[in-house]
Amino acid sequence: MQIILLTHERELSRVTNTGKLALVHFPQYCRKVIWSRVQPDKPLQLACETGTAILLFPASEVAEKPVNGFDDEISVKQQSGNKSVHHYERLTDIDSLAHKSIVILDATWQEARKMMRQSPYLQQASKLSLSTTARSQYQLRRNQLEGGLCTLECIALLFSHAGMSAEAKRLQQAFALHNG
């Protein structure tokens, strides 16, 4: 699994940024791409358009909510050409993500919405949604999305679902120190 942190430029100077912790601890799984409205990263744009990259984004922000009834759930919104199916499907085979790139918008929720709105390739990308009963432990920022997780919490949950429990635990420990 490759995690691409599509990072808003304002995140680069924020001490509250959690994506940088994933980059430090797991450079073999994570890389950063700086988001630009006018000059999108061409390889990332192509990956989103061809389906080799999946965008992590809350289902409630783009379509119907994912299937309910599970403590932790991963759902994927499939694309059909330029038309998307307007529902999230429960992903039962996490191994199918092993050869995909997962794009995470590393920004405030307000900035992430703007990035989505201003980037047609992100709108066209297949979507991945995480749903968990756990509440975010992130305390360093205000105006958090109800039920939303910070960047590092998302990566740790993805690692956990992928059977990478040691990596998930390491991120959670780094997060606890950062969130202090």
Average of per-residue pLDDT values in the chain: 78
pLDDT given at position 144:
54
105-119: average pLDDT: 93
Which range marks the domain in which residue 33 is found?
2-179
3-state secondary structure (DSSP) of residue 42: helix
Of the candidates 1, 4, 116, 102, the one whose C-alpha atom is nearest the C-alpha of residue 53 is: 102
pLDDT tens by residue, 54-100: 999 887 665 433 333 333 445 544 444 444 433 344 444 556 666 78
pLDDT given at position 104:
96
Q: How many domains does the chain have?
A: 1
Tell me the DSSP string of 52-73.
SEEEE--HHHHSSPPPPS-SEE
pTM: 0.79
pLDDT tens by residue, 18-50: 899 999 999 999 999 999 999 999 999 999 999
Least confident of 5-14, 58-67, 129-138: 58-67
Residues 6+ apart with CB under 8 A from 169: none
